[in-house]
Structure 1
Amino acid sequence: MPNEALQKVLQEISQKKAFAEQQLVVVRQQKAARTRESRMLQLTASEVTSLPTDTKVYEGVGKMFVCTPIPDVQKRLKEEGEALTKEMSNLDKKEDYLEKTYTNSKNSLEQVLQRAG
């Protein structure tokens, strides 16, 4: 393989590997944030469930608070939990893809270097 073509291939593979590595860091941070959000939702839901049904519950809307019936709050918490579950599933898939891309790029880089050297 000509020297210029080899350098071009190495550069492309290195860029792909670096990009996958950066994206993996981002995805793992997003997963950690979603896990915290999920835990907060679970704690909030358990607190709301333990309240008597005639208790007044207020939700923050912008800079004010609005009185909201407990069933509405529970419904919103459930919907947010389902959305977080879907998002975590998508992040897991993305993480798997990026890990495979990173591993394949790393292996390709090693193979090209072995063949050249």
Structure 2
Amino acid sequence: MSIPNEALQKLLQEIGQKKAFSEQQLLVVKQQKAARNRETRMLQLTANEVDSLPKDTKVYEGVGKMFVCTPIPDVQKRLVTEGVALEKEMENLNKKEHYLQQTYDNSKSSLEQVLRTGGR
């Protein structure tokens, strides 16, 4: 029993669209992960620099177009909080990447299977 040409064409189109969407979203997620990795590295470098400063050093943080003197413990606390938030974002991006990769692989194999069997 074979699938009618119209139904086969519609099926191939749907699978192809799903595959293309997954591939596009996968690239977006990989770019987001790279950006988060850069942010994490910057946080680590900043934390190392702040930790190496003497305790009586004045530290300034940018707020809009001005700088505000902030105690070192407050800066360290903010860096830790931002680091934890970035870790959670990375976990979510990893899950999303895994899901999209699975969807892409499944779509690709379904497309290959339909093409191989010729709709039979």
- Percent of paired sites with the same residue: 79
Question: Which of residues 90, 101, 104 in structure 1 aligns to 2:103?
Answer: 101
What letter is aligned with 1:68? T
What letter is aligned with 1:20? S
* 1:8 CA displacement: 0.2
Give the superposed CA RMSD: 0.7
- Count of matched residue pairs: 117
Question: Which of residues 54, 61, 67 in structure 2 aligns to 1:65?
Answer: 67
TM-score when normalising by structure 1: 0.99
Cα deviation, 1:16-60, whole Å, max 9, x if unaligned, reads: 000000000000000000000000000000000000111000000
What letter is aligned with 2:74? D
The equivalent residue for 1:115 is 117
TM-score when normalising by structure 2: 0.96
Structure 1 position 52 matched with structure 2 position 54: yes
Q: Structure 2: 5+ residue runs without aligned partners?
A: none
Q: Which consecutive aligned stretches of 4+ in structure 1 deviate over 2 angstroms post-superposition? A: none
The equivalent residue for 2:87 is 85
Q: 1-side partners of 2:117 and 2:45: how far apart?
A: 56
Question: Which of residues 16, 22, 45 in structure 2 aligns to 1:20?
Answer: 22
